[in-house]
Amino acid sequence: MVYYFRMKLLFLGGPGTGKSTVGNRLANDLNWPWISSGAILRESKEQWVIERLKTAQLFDDEMVSELVFSRLSGIENAIIDGYPRTLRQAEIIVDRGLKIDYIVELVVPFEEIMRRLSLRGRSQDVPEIIEERQADYERSRNEIVAYLVGNGVKLLTVDGVGEVDEVYKRTVSIIRNEINNNLK
């Protein structure tokens, strides 16, 4: 028996949890689009966007949402990374009728996040900015998850500690098990 899925997965996690690495790899393996709000912004040639990225500032909810929705137009399957980052962005998802099937959250202890990001070498990966970004994530995470789960999105939690291959296999296994359980 062959099943055809129309599915959108949101990859969620704080900075340095591996959500982009794992999400992008899964998108490549499934031949699905990987829609990353961060990549969309980094591809921008607008000077004001470049300046905000250098200082790790967040962007206007409606603008980011419009960029993400424009990339999702006409797409049945997708891995969405780094969006939503705010409750307002989650509300926009629901208000605009975007069907999200699962939130896949990679969970990593803060000490491991600090270690990983210190090795990455980006200009914004200094302790003060990492702590600020993690605090921003933690402030918004519960609201976003509660809102989306309350609107029918299922939350899958993945232990994000370990080598990339190990975390990837764990992620795929959790998603596969959830899908198989829903087919029964």
Say if 123 falls within a structural domain: yes
- Per-residue pLDDT, averaged over 145-158, amounts to 98
Q: Which amino acid is at 114?
A: M
Say if 2 falls within a structural domain: no
Q: Is residue 35 within 8 Å of residue 74, measured between CB atoms?
A: no
The alpha carbon dihedral of 84, 90, 96, 102 has a sign of positive
- Per-residue pLDDT, averaged over 164-170, amounts to 97
Say if 1 falls within a structural domain: no
> Could you report the per-residue pLDDT of 82-105, keeping only the tens digit for each?
899 999 999 999 999 999 999 999
Say if 52 falls within a structural domain: yes
Q: In CATH, what number is assigned to the domain containing residue 101?
A: 3.40.50.300
Say if 38 falls within a structural domain: yes
Say if 37 falls within a structural domain: yes
Say if 102 falls within a structural domain: yes
**Helix (H) or strand (E) run with residue 36 in it:** strand 34-36
Please check the confidence at residue 44 and state whether its pLDDT lies above 80: no
Domains held by the chain: number? 1
The range of the structural domain enclosing residue 40 comes to 8-183
Say if 3 falls within a structural domain: no
> Could you report the per-residue pLDDT of 47-65, keeping only the tens digit for each?
777 787 788 776 789 988 9
